[in-house]
Amino acid sequence: MTVDTIITLIKKIIDVLLVWALLYYILKSLRKNVKMILLFKGILLIVITKILSDLLDLVTIGYLIDYVIEWAPLALIVIFQPEIRDALESLGRAKFLGRHKTLSLSEREKTVNAIVSAIEFMQSNRIGALIVLERDVSLANYIDKAQKIYAEVSGALLGSIFYTNNPLHDGGVIIQGDQISCAGAVFPTSSSMAISKRLGTRHRAALGIAEQSDCIAVVVSEETGRVSIAEEGELAYNLSLDEVKIRLLEALSPNKKLLTHNQKEGQNNEEN
């Protein structure tokens, strides 16, 4: 096998992997976006109709389908411009080297205990809240437009931020590592039809940001005091404090790939 053959083979493998990565990203987006699901169904219907028109020699319908296919890309760009923009923004916000800070076990437990303590206080006092924990996808775009805080996470601070008379209580809090980066953050609301109509703006905002990033969003209902968590485009309702604590500890656990990379670097430094 020659060098040129090997290079050609590697190029083909990379080409196939890129196609599969693109398909994976598209399918992942389809699962979370109602409009994209309808779009996919429409495209599938057009393809089936085109195949049938060719097989049965249906000239008129075939001509119409060809006309639709010719102008469809331009129409899709115009109609789905917001979804395309959101997808590109998500790619731009991705941090390929992992989250900015890996918390130690004690830091993780301290941060989660402070959040759970605040949630318990807000539950008992019927205070609504939206707390978003950043993971590997940066939320800097939302932090830039909110009120900066950059303070250590504490139950008292979270409770005071979401207190009814506080001007920032209507927005969301973003936590990076063990720091509250901002308050009063505004997130996109989800258009998912699966979410209950009884749930309000906070729940839709939590699901909306969870659809566009890998964050975990905690919502405390102002009316019922129930706690919900949005993660990976799914919303879990009426969770107990123990369930919330477990989910948050898992969310803040070290990135396995990043941890392995750091361990290898440490071993190389010791060898040198």
Q: What is the 3-state secondary structure (H, E, C) of 54-71?
A: HHHCCHHHHHHHHHHHHH
38-42, 45-49, 162-166, 212-216: segment of lowest average pLDDT: 38-42
Asked if the model's pLDDT at residue 261 lies above 80, the reply is no
pLDDT confidence of 155, banded at 50, 70, 90?
very high
pLDDT at residue number 153: 94
pLDDT confidence of 170, banded at 50, 70, 90?
confident
DSSP letter, residue 178: T
Comparing C-alpha atoms, which of 184, 168, 70 is closest to residue 132? 184
Sort strands 227-231 and 234-239 into parallel, antiparallel or unpaired. antiparallel
Order of strands, sheet of 179-185, starting from the edge strand that comes earlier in the sequence: 147-152, 179-185, 172-176, 129-133, 216-220, 227-231, 234-239
pLDDT confidence of 262, banded at 50, 70, 90?
very low
pLDDT confidence of 258, banded at 50, 70, 90?
very low
pLDDT at residue number 248: 93
% the chain with pLDDT above 90? 33
Asked if the model's pLDDT at residue 115 lies above 90, the reply is yes
Comparing C-alpha atoms, which of 187, 61, 193, 85 is closest to residue 134? 187
197-216: average pLDDT: 88
Cβ atoms of 160 and 166 closer than 8 Å: yes
Token pair of 48, please?
């089936």
pLDDT at residue number 174: 95
The 10s digit of each residue's pLDDT in 194-205 is 777 778 889 999
CA distance 99 to 106: 18
Asked if the model's pLDDT at residue 269 lies above 90, the reply is no
CA distance 200 to 204: 7
The chain-wide mean pLDDT, for the chain, equals 81
pLDDT at residue number 247: 93
The CATH class of 105-257 is alpha beta
65-69, 129-133, 176-180, 256-260: segment of lowest average pLDDT: 256-260
Q: Where are the domains of the chain?
A: 3-93, 105-257
125-150: average pLDDT: 91
Angle (CA) 147-168-165 rounded to 5° is 150
Comparing C-alpha atoms, which of 189, 252, 255, 199 is closest to residue 228? 199
Phi-psi region of 98 (alpha: psi -120 to 50; beta: other; left: phi over 0): left
The 10s digit of each residue's pLDDT in 50-89 is 888 888 888 888 888 887 777 777 777 776 666 666 666 5
